[in-house]
Amino acid sequence: MARTAVVWCPDWPVRAAEADPTGPVAVVRANRVVACSPAARADGVAVGLRRRQAEARSPGLVVVPHDPAGEARRFEPVVAAVAAFTPRVEVVRPGVCAFTARGPARYFGGEERLATLVAEAAEAACPGGPGVERCQVGVADGLFAAGLAARYGVVVEPGRAAEFLAPMPVRVLGMAALVDLLDRLGIRTLGQLARLPSAQVLSRFGAEGATAQRRARGLDDRPLATRPPPDDLTVTAELDPPVERVDAAAFAAKSLADRLHAALADRGLSCTQVGIEAETEHGETLVRWWRHDGQLTSPALAERVRWQLEGWLGGPHPPTSGLVRLRLTPDEVVVDHGSQQGFWGGVAEADRQAARALARVQALLGPDTVLTAVPEGGRGPAEVVRLVPWGDDRGPARPPKVPWPGRVPAPLPAVVPERSLPAELADGEGRPLIIDGRGQPSAPPRRLSVAGGPWSEVVAWSAPWPCQERWWDPGGRRRRARMQVETAEGRALLLVVESGRWLVEAVYD
Amino acid sequence: MEVAELREWSRPATLAGERTLPVLPALAPVLPSGLRRGAIVGVSGPGATSVALALLAGPSRAGSWVAVVGLPDLGVAAADEAGMDLSRLALVPHPGDRGPVVAATLVDGLDVVVVGPGAGIGPADARRLAARTRQRGAVLVAAARPWSERCDIELSVAASAWVGLERGCGHLSRRLLEVAAGGRRGNRRRTRMWMPSGEGAPLPWEPGPPTEETNGVTDGCRPGPVRLVAG
């Protein structure tokens, strides 16, 4: 039985959400609480409660939507911190990862010590501050027992997993239907389940029951699917004697590029960016990154080595001695789909090319900077689309097809400023225009000034349409009125008034 | 199935000589042969955003990828209405000081790239970007002013008129835009189109007898004649 260590970050969805984890926070999916912070738990909030019930129990509750992709992304630094101890780490789910304990335990001086070190490293890599539960590590035989050991932060000695598991309630198995049945039959603990004869368990509860019993007996049902360490694909050539001439270096680069291509092809990969590093006898180095879309052949790569070195040798800071080392580092390795083009399949190739370019921009600027839009239900011009980072799930959060009373009618404005500009709308006598509680303007609008600019004459305007949003929600309620106006210059604007202040929400440019 | 339709169906997706991207019929008078790959198109003046959306809708409908760099104020919902395929539209609203690098990367992989003022592209960057666009066969739409490079085609709004909004009733329902083409390869022609047309994609303007406007609320409110305002 493999000794397995599990790292458990408590309340991961809460810690990954960008809310203060020391206060009461609940993460909600489909109107049900899926995770909550210790402060919220102290108020009586529990997983599975309806959102409204949770808010009733904890008045100051901050509710954040569930974001599985973001949770997985923010867990990556924690996995990297654990991978510093052992290269083969399996992410069980965001917030929990596992690794085989035997090797690292010997290296770091025992399982207890390893558990302490890993827990500290994981905690340091986690977002969040004081007042949240700390990351814990458990070591036991098999993944199931280790997962429970992590909840208690203990190391279970070899061969004693069944003993450790025996007093646990059957609920920890997590198989809802089976747990319910076992509970009604009076089988309350894992120890009771483990003592039943296995043949009868299989015939009465089926394969699921047999799996549950194996787990209860401390026998693991599967080995860890650990993430293999990434292969080092860098290829290096030592040049002896040192090379002084560019063409000789390019010749060496040709064979180096052949080796790189062979290594990539063995793994069915191609790389979209390659770094060429040249080092001289005196230790001067020049690194440059070259980009291509997967069809850079060995001669083409050698050509780039030539360009790079020619630029270096002819540039303002030429090297003082011959080259002793050339290194090619593939960066951004992607699965090679082949490069057959044209004929019928041109569009799919264009999609892949676009995806690579966008992934490259994400690598430059960060994952949340490249956005795609998803149509969504809403009233204002900025609410009817949701921007999601490229590569994330594009499912709509609010249904677009149902009626949204008070929605801005089509056509929608072409310019929606990120921050609405202040405006002044005045009637014929220069008084600011007021919309009363029944949605009637105090007078016909005559003049408009945007952001303190010059006044322009209003030639046409719509009746204001009032919009009451989320009247049931004290934090999110808004009472506004929108109005379209057209000025004598032919500009059409969407204005919104809230608490007596006019803003330009959008421009029909 | 008509012969012409059959031919359209059986046409290979990429022909060797296919060096143009399609445009909507509404823009055909100013761009009779479509958008040539490698072209730099400038859009300017009031209404430029709508002209750009009308221009992008053609390639986007035909399956091209479109990226918009440095235009954080773009109304994406309007792009959807204009007929663009949102699943093939990528936005980089805030490239920061990496705008030129981002635009160059996107030109490498996408068919149409729009650069706005937020991309921060200086004269030297513009020259390099234009050269790269020509080499890669993409189309660059410059919505940034000042754009120092000479554009192959310049599109601007000569006049526009909104329909549907009255004095205290109705709502903006559609707009007549007069688009003028210029630039090195522009054909100095003008065309009128409904953009937005109120029915999705921009529609060409058909001269004919004036019809009763049915859009908007009509209780006691008579729609006036279309009034063209120089843009």
CATH number at residue A306: 3.30.1490.100
Residues of A with Cβ-Cβ distance to B67 under 8 angstroms: 357-358
- Residue contact B172–A484, C-beta within 8 A: yes
- Residue contact B168–A444, C-beta within 8 A: yes
Residue A139 has pLDDT above 90, yes or no: yes
Nearest residue to A381 via CA among B43, B49, B58, B169: B49
Q: Which of residues 423-452 of A touch B (CB under 8 A)?
A: 441, 444
Domain boundary among A227, A244, A265: A227
Q: Which residue of B92, B169, B171 is in closest CB contact with A369?
A: B92
β partners of residue B170? B165
Task: Please write the tens of the pLDDT for every residue from A184-239.
Answer: 999 999 999 999 998 999 899 888 888 889 888 888 766 666 555 566 788 888 88
Query: Which residues fall within 8 angstroms of residue B199, CB to CB, at 6 or more apart?
Result: none
Tokens of B169: 């009733």
- Structural domain including A151 reads 1-17+67-227
Task: Please write the tens of the pLDDT for every residue from A449-473.
Answer: 998 889 999 999 998 888 887 777 7
Give the model's confidence band at B18: pLDDT under 50 very low, under 70 low, under 90 confident, else very high: low
CA separation for the pair A482, B162 (Å, rounded) = 18
Q: Distance from A462 to chain B by nearest Cα, in Å?
A: 5
- Residue A33, H or E segment: strand A32-36
- Residue contact B14–A342, C-beta within 8 A: yes
Number of domains chain A contains: 3
Task: Please write the tens of the pLDDT for every residue from B57-94.
Answer: 999 988 899 999 999 999 999 999 999 999 889 999 99
Q: Does A393 touch chain B (CB under 8 A)?
A: no
Q: Say if residue A211 is in the same domain as residue A260.
A: no
Q: Does A484 touch chain B (CB under 8 A)?
A: yes
Q: Does A354 touch chain B (CB under 8 A)?
A: yes
Residues of B with Cβ-Cβ distance to A386 under 8 angstroms: none
Q: Say if residue A248 is in the same domain as residue A330.
A: yes
- Whether A412 is covered by a domain: the verdict is no
Q: Say if residue A214 is in the same domain as residue A161.
A: yes
Q: Which residue has the tokens 């401390």?
A: A218
- Whether A265 is covered by a domain: the verdict is yes
Q: Say if residue A199 is in the same domain as residue A327.
A: no
A478-487 and A421-427 strand pairing: unpaired
Q: Which residue of A373, A409, A441 is in closest CB contact with B76?
A: A373
- Residue contact A412–B67, C-beta within 8 A: no
- Whether A200 is covered by a domain: the verdict is yes
Name the DSSP letter for residue B25. Answer: G
CATH number at residue A150: 3.30.70.270
A385-389 and B139-142 strand pairing: unpaired
Residues of A with Cβ-Cβ distance to B79 under 8 angstroms: 373, 414
**pLDDT average, residue stretch A356-382:** 83
What residue of B is the nearest CA neighbor of A351?
Answer: B65
- Whether A32 is covered by a domain: the verdict is no
- The separation between CA A207 and the C-alpha centre of its own chain, rounded to angstroms, equals 35
Q: Say if residue A306 is in the same domain as residue A438.
A: no
Q: Say if residue A218 is in the same domain as residue A96.
A: yes
Q: Which residue of B13, B80, B171 is in closest CB contact with A375?
A: B80
Interface test mutation site (partner A, options B50, B73, B175, max chain A beta carbons within 10 A): B73
User: Which pLDDT score is estimated for B90?
Assistant: 94
- Whether A211 is covered by a domain: the verdict is yes
Query: Which residues fall within 8 angstroms of residue B37, CB to CB, at 6 or more apart?
Result: B19, B20, B21, B111, B137, B138, B139
In 10 A of CB A297, how many CB atoms?
12
Asked if residue A379 lies in contact with residue A494, where contact means CB atoms within 8 angstroms, the answer is no
What residue of A is the nearest CA neighbor of B173?
Answer: A411
Q: Say if residue A117 is in the same domain as residue A211.
A: yes
Question: Looking at this protein, which amino acid is placed at residue A309?
Answer: L
Q: Does A251 touch chain B (CB under 8 A)?
A: no
Residues of A with Cβ-Cβ distance to B172 under 8 angstroms: 411, 462, 484, 486, 492, 508
Asked if residue B47 lies in contact with residue B71, where contact means CB atoms within 8 angstroms, the answer is no
- Whether A25 is covered by a domain: the verdict is no
- Residue B3, H or E segment: helix B3-10
Q: Say if residue A7 is in the same domain as residue A153.
A: yes
CA separation for the pair A15, A132 (Å, rounded) = 8
Nearest residue to A480 via CA among A441, A422, A435, A445: A435
Q: Does A409 touch chain B (CB under 8 A)?
A: yes
Domain boundary among A205, A227, A249: A227
Question: Looking at this protein, which amino acid is placed at residue A503?
Answer: L
Asked if residue B162 lies in contact with residue B172, where contact means CB atoms within 8 angstroms, the answer is yes
Q: Which residue of A342, A390, A489 is in closest CB contact with B229?
A: A489
Number of H helices, E strands in chain B: 5, 12
Interface test mutation site (partner A, options B19, B44, B92, B110, max chain A beta carbons within 10 A): B92
CA separation (Å) from A288 to A231, A329, A393? Answer: 22, 10, 35
- Residue contact A364–B196, C-beta within 8 A: no
CA angle at A351 for the pair A348 and A353, rounded to the nearest 5°: 110
The ipTM estimated for the assembled molecules is: 0.83
Query: Which residues fall within 8 angstroms of residue B141, CB to CB, at 6 or more apart?
Result: B41, B42, B43, B52, B55, B56, B112, B113, B114, B115
- Whether A205 is covered by a domain: the verdict is yes
Q: Distance from A83 to chain B by nearest Cα, in Å?
A: 32
Q: Say if residue A324 is in the same domain as residue A457.
A: no
User: Which pLDDT score is estimated for B214?
Assistant: 39
User: What 3-state class would DSSP assign to A363?
Assistant: helix
Residue B216 has pLDDT above 50, yes or no: no
Question: Looking at this protein, which amino acid is placed at residue A214?
Answer: R
Name the DSSP letter for residue A401. Answer: S
Name the DSSP letter for residue A108. Answer: T
CATH topology of domain B19-205: Rossmann fold (3.40.50)
- Residue contact A387–B91, C-beta within 8 A: yes
User: Which pLDDT score is estimated for A113?
Assistant: 93
- Whether A416 is covered by a domain: the verdict is no
Asked if residue B172 lies in contact with residue B165, where contact means CB atoms within 8 angstroms, the answer is yes
Task: Please write the tens of the pLDDT for every residue from A240-265.
Answer: 888 888 778 888 888 888 888 888 88
Q: Distance from B32 to chain A by nearest Cα, in Å?
A: 24
Q: Where are the domains of chain B?
A: 19-205
Q: Say if residue A319 is in the same domain as residue A449.
A: no
Most confident residue range from A285-294, A495-504, B182-191: A495-504
Q: Say if residue A109 is in the same domain as residue A243.
A: no
- The separation between CA A7 and the C-alpha centre of its own chain, rounded to angstroms, equals 20
- List Cβ<8 Å contacts ≥24 apart for A440-444: A440/A464, A441/A483, A441/B168, A444/B167, A444/B168
